[in-house]
């Protein structure tokens, strides 16, 4: 198959591919960017795979950065653009279930593609827009299926994070996970215990923010992956309740964590420790706590001026949008109007400062 219209992101990178080819090497666009082009979705990062070894790439291009040279990746700076160029490679055993013990560079595109996680990500494209599909990824795109390349048990034993990635793709793309792939996730779910919380959190958030999170949450629960995610082990029933919320897309991770915490019925005094276990930043934790406070206030009644002042307009409106999930009507315009009627919107707008108040009251105490 040949892509009828080549996206601009690929056209801008064509010169880089042709330069590699001019030196006698193969070079292709690979992975998620090819998948997204075929799905007519926006492209974020253009990745290039080549038969050239890292040192050969560095000889071809003068402006490079060794971003992952041990694994064959060199960042090439081309004008204002930059591209990660990775040598075709095979990988040995994965003793830590995340990183290969040894990477071997090869000259074969097929050897490189067969080590990838899912068929829809094992696609390549040349500069003319011709698609190289060695594992029926195109068919899986048409069928809207997430299927591991080759033996799914081998793929997940190599890199356990692929299980969360598969679930995340189900949500983001609104695809179903193929039966054998799903069975392998259930068989190897405990290997998630070997993966860092930070990496799991990235995939989990993307899962929650996908177009059809229910399509991922149900297998996430049914395969017991949730038991190896921070703070979720005892909440299987509550996660099912969470999955039954209206399946409308969630706008932000703060909203996602708020809805999850409400569904799990986590007490207020345990919310911070729950979010800390996910290794979230203090800023995100604060924003989630603000959302939960605001949501509780709105579920009880109308906004009070002090609530709007403390939360700010952006957070208050974000909370309003969460009322949909609780079968309540949001009042966006009323909230904006009430906020605008506040005498001040920031403590810096006060006519007197805290120091002036302290000085005033201390003076009165002395005189009194």
Q: Extract the tokens encoding 78.
A: 């081309």
* Strands 131-133 and 145-146, sheet pairing: unpaired
- Cβ-contact 146, 181 below 8 angstroms: yes
32 is in an annotated binding site: yes
CA distance 195 to 205: 16
Distances in whole angstroms, Cα of residue 46 to Cα of each of 13, 290, 357: 8, 37, 58
State how far Cα 219 lies from the chain centre: 18
CA distance 48 to 87: 9
162 is in an annotated binding site: yes
User: 361: which residues sit within 8 A by CB, 6+ positions away?
Assistant: none
Q: Extract the tokens encoding 248.
A: 């409308």
310 is in an annotated binding site: no
348-367: buried (b, 16+ CB within 10 Å) or exposed (e) per residue? eeeeeeeeeeeeeeeeeeee
Q: Extract the tokens encoding 72.
A: 């064959």
Number of CB atoms found within 10 A of residue 270's CB? 12
- Exposure of 63 by Cβ count < 10 A (0-12 exposed, 13-18 middle, 19+ buried)? exposed
116 is in an annotated binding site: yes
159 is in an annotated binding site: yes
147 is in an annotated binding site: no
139 is in an annotated binding site: no
155 is in an annotated binding site: no
Write down the residue that tokens 């064509």 correspond to: 14
Integer Rg of the chain from CA: 26
174 is in an annotated binding site: no
User: 29: which residues sit within 8 A by CB, 6+ positions away?
Assistant: 10, 13, 17, 46, 47, 48, 124, 125, 126
User: Which parts are annotated binding residues for CTP?
Assistant: 32, 35, 116, 159, 162, 165, 168
Q: Which residues are annotated as a binding site?
A: 32, 35, 45, 47, 116, 159, 162, 165, 168
Residue positions forming the annotated binding site for Mg(2+): 45, 47
Residue ranges at the known binding site for ATP: 32, 35, 116, 159, 162, 165, 168
């Amino acid at each position: 198959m040949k892509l009828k219209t080549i996206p601009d992101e690929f056209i801008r990178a064509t010169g880089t591919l042709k330069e590699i080819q001019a030196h006698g090497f193969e070079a292709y666009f690979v992975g998620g960017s090819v998948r997204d082009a075929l799905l007519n979705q926006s492209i974020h990062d253009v990745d290039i795979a080549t038969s050239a070894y890292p040192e050969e790439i560095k000889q071809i291009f003068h402006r490079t950065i060794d971003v992952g040279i041990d694994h064959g990746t060199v960042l090439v700076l081309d004008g204002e653009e930059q591209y990660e160029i990775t040598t075709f490679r095979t990988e040995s055993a994965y003793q830590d279930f995340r990183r290969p013990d040894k990477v071997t560079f090869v000259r074969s595109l097929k050897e490189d593609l067969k080590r990838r996680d899912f068929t829809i990500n094992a696609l390549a494209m040349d500069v003319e827009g011709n698609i190289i599909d060695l594992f029926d990824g195109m068919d899986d795109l048409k069928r809207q299926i997430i299927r591991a390349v080759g033996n799914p048990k081998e793929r997940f034993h190599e890199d356990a994070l692929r299980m969360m990635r598969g679930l995340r793709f189900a949500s983001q793309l609104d695809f179903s996970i193929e039966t054998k792939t799903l069975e392998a996730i259930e068989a190897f779910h405990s290997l998630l215990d070997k993966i860092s919380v930070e990496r799991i959190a990235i995939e989990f958030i993307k899962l929650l923010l996908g177009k059809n999170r229910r399509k991922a949450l149900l297998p996430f629960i049914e395969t017991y992956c949730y038991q190896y995610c921070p703070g979720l082990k005892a909440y299987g029933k509550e996660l099912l309740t969470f999955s039954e919320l209206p399946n409308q897309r969630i706008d932000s991770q703060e909203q996602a964590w708020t809805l999850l915490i409400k569904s799990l019925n986590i007490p207020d005094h345990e919310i911070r420790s729950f979010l800390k276990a996910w290794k979230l930043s203090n800023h995100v934790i604060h924003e989630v706590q603000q959302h939960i406070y605001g949501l509780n206030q709105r579920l009880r009644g109308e906004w009070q001026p002090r609530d709007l002042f403390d939360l700010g307009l952006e957070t208050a409106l974000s909370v309003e949008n969460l009322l949909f999930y609780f079968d309540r009507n949001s009042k966006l315009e009323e909230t904006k109007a009430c906020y605008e009627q506040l005498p001040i919107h920031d403590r810096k707008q006060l006519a007197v400062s805290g120091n002036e108040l302290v000085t005033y009251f201390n003076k009165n105490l002395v005189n009194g």
